[in-house]
Amino acid sequence: MDLRLPLLAVLLKYVLGSTFLENGAAPLSRSSFPDGFVFGTAASAYQFEGAFQEGGRKPSIWDTFSHSSGKIKDGSNGDIAVDQYHRFKDDTKLMKDMNMDAYRFSISWSRAFPDDKVNPEGIAYYNSIIDSLKQAGIEPYITLYHWDLPEALHLSGGWLNSSISEKYAAYAEACFEAFGDRVKNWMTFNEPYTFATRGYSEGAHAPGRCTGCKFGGNSLTEPYIVTHNVLLSHAAAVKIYREKFQEKQGGKIGIALDTHWFEPFSDSPEDAAAAERRLDYKLGWFLSPIMFGKYPRSMRLHLGPRLPVFTSKQRREIRGSIDFMGLNHYTSRYVQDDPADVATNSEMDPAALSLESRNGVLIGPQAGSKWLYVVPWGMEKLLKYIKARYNPPEIFITENGVDELNDPSISLEQALQDQLRIDYYNEYLKYMLAAMRDGVNVRAYFAWSFSDNFEWEIGYTSRFGIYYVDYSDNLKRYPKKSALWFKQMLARNASATQIL
């Protein structure tokens, strides 16, 4: 399927009864959104910074993993990434030119707080980024952990060791102390589901652990231990922030979770229950303890002793430990009940089969990545589900975006014509607005990503960026058509964008 075709026409095949298709597809502008709604782009330290041996930075698990033979699709790594370490001032200007309000980025634990102590050079670097953003009128939104655990901590047990919560809390406190006078929005973790399952059940992400993996592991137990320690670490950091910093600094703290929308494959009760279980295992695994102080019932009944148990004190500290929920959402799947298989990894535990098509028809057009299908209506359904099931105080869409494959054979001019990305953002934002009009309290939206970058196990073979990075010419940045779309859409007192 040619993704250069306008997605709206393609989506008519897949969407029935869309709120926005019924009400008309009015062009978007800043005035389409409530006053004070925040728009930004997103990034992470390992994917963007580079400078892996500069400024006192120590190795992380992603340095070790990406330098291990055969782990990254194109044999690359994040040693240089897109060199934002040296180019952040220029990148800030590009964000400002797009009329963005905010920039979500992560702190590298290995740069800011290696060896359990503050690194002055690392702190100075992040202070420079924060000051540059503030001077440009762009608000920094900081993620404390985006998958890059210091290698030294991993070697002492890492997320499998319950003592990690004390280490993480000390690191978080150092960041609150150093940056909290200017940073008003904090996220403790980014997508803990992904690094717990991809890193400790499938072995596809750092630190590469799984049953039978080179680096060892147990795919049926370790993801649950990791998640338990992550939740305790989250709660410890939030407790410190609320007791020591929040009142005087006036900020908010939350967590960025990820999930697809899971649509029942059929009208059968079995498929409906399977879709619910799949949401429990991907989202409720984290959000249920945070909102209710306990893991989802479906997990507790099925996993038994494989699922760790919170003490009464831990439940009290975890429950209510967010001022907002960050949501990373890209795509959706059909789900079918699948009770027969015996689980060999945590992904099989929900006994729910995820499917990309039904009756021979894809759920939506496929993007560059094999896992990413364009399903805008899933955004609305997911947001309404989260409000009804969990009712978090506020929701920030902390990641949403689409990629195309990196194709060195096409010209720069062709590479910048990313109509597919404009269509994607346009439709997902409209379905987000539909949910907001039905009472879902979404307050911010961050597009993934600011620029092309190192995309974890697939390296530089995929491009998610609004800005094109020329990997063959000194990492020069060029605005894609989507950058111009955002610039016009977010302009103050401007008419609705017509770049579609």
Sheet (strand 352-355) strand order: 261-264, 332-337, 352-355
Distance, CA of 19 to chain centre: 26
Cβ proximity of 332 and 363 under 8 Å: yes
Cβ proximity of 18 and 377 under 8 Å: yes
| SS3 per residue for the chain | CCCCCCHHHHHCCCCCCCHHHHHCCCCCCHHHCCCCCEEEEECCHHHHCCCCCCCCCCCEHHHHHHCCCCCCCCCCCCCCCCCHHHHHHHHHHHHHHCCCCEEEEECCHHHHCHHHCCCHHHHHHHHHHHHHHHHCCCEEEEECCCCCCEHHHHHCCHHHCCCHHHHHHHHHHHHHHHHCCCCCEEEEEECHHHHHHHHHCCCCCCCCCCCCCCCCCCCCCHHHHHHHHHHHHHHHHHHHHHHHHHHHHCCEEEEEEECCEEEECCCCHHHHHHHHHHHHHHHHHHHHHHHHCCCCHHHHHHHHHHCCCCCHHHHHHHCCCCCEEEEECCCEEEEEECCCCCCCCHHHCCCEEEECEECCEECCCECCCCCCECCCHHHHHHHHHHHHHCCCCCEEEEECCCCEECCCCCCHHHHCCCHHHHHHHHHHHHHHHHHHHCCCCEEEEEECCCECCCCHHHCCCEECCCEEEECCCCCEEEECHHHHHHHHHCCCCCCCCCCC
| Largest CA-CA distance found in the chain, in angstroms, rounded | 60
Which candidate in 191, 222, 276, 455 is catalytic? 191
Strand bridging mode 395-399 / 442-447: parallel
Q: Measure Cα distances from 403 to 78, 248, 365, 480 in Å.
A: 19, 41, 12, 12
Which candidate in 222, 399, 427, 455 is catalytic? 399
**b/e sequence 393-424, b meaning 16+ C-beta within 10 Å:** ebbbbbbbbbbbebeeeeeeeebbebbbbbbb
Active site residue 191: yes
Catalytically annotated residues:
191, 399
